[in-house]
Amino acid sequence: MMHPPSETLLAHASGHLEPVLRVVVEAHLDLCPACRAGMAAMAEPGGWLFGGFEPEGRRPEPPSARPGPDPLWEKLEARLAPPAAADPVPASVPLPLAARLELPASLGRLRWWRPFLRGARLAVLCEDDRTGASLALAHMPGGRVFPRHEHLGFEHAVVLAGGYDDERGSFTAGDFAIYEPGSSHGPHTLDGDDCWILFRLGGPVRFAGWRGAVQRLFL
């Protein structure tokens, strides 16, 4: 399986990862036991270190002796509990619960966009006003070729179901991929199950061929 870089996991464990990318990483963690174990190893001593600092001269008390609720247990309960509001992402979408819980409460009904994409459809879930990044879902039947395109910003993607091939290899459920600005590809979905991908786009994409000409004309 292909995984997020260690610095991305560390930023997530310390709570410093941007919200849009956090959703993508959470989806990967749900499908990757190795990264879940790595996150636990990062988060547990980190929480102890940062939570155990006391004014000079005072000895930090062990976590079990501290009054009040255990924040780790509260987080676990929040993950296990069903979302309070109606989930705008249909149950038919294979989006893990951990990723659903990271979605903004203001998320509206999914709106699919599918012009000239050979059976594929895309839906933007949310956008980060601070970074300009967007979070999106892609769905495409198996055995299809997505039109070739160039990334003008970083893309971070995780395969939720099915899979695809491109110039960088074969990606199946759980795999995490990063495409740098200037990179281009034309993914071919694997025969069989539909391919579902959750991804963060740090900038627009530019299609090749006649699609690119139409894109430049109308956008």
pLDDT 10s digits, 108-123: 788 998 877 788 999 9
| Both tokens assigned to 122 | 């895309």
Domains of the chain (ranges, CATH numbers) = 6-87+97-102 (1.10.10), 121-218 (2.60.120.10)
The dihedral of CA 92, 26, 134, 181: what is its sign?
negative
Q: How much is the pTM?
A: 0.80
Average pLDDT in the chain: 84
N-term to C-term CA, the chain: 37
Q: In what order do the strands lie in the sheet with 205-207?
A: 184-185, 149-151, 205-207
pLDDT value, residue 183: 97
pLDDT band at 55 (very low <50, low <70, confident <90, very high): very low
Residue 155 clears pLDDT 50, i.e. is over it: yes
Distant-in-sequence, close-in-space partners of 46: CB < 8 Å, separation ≥ 6:
13, 14
pLDDT value, residue 85: 56
Range of weakest confidence among 33-47, 55-69, 101-115: 55-69
Q: Is 46 left (phi over 0), alpha (psi -120 to 50) or beta?
A: alpha
pLDDT value, residue 212: 83
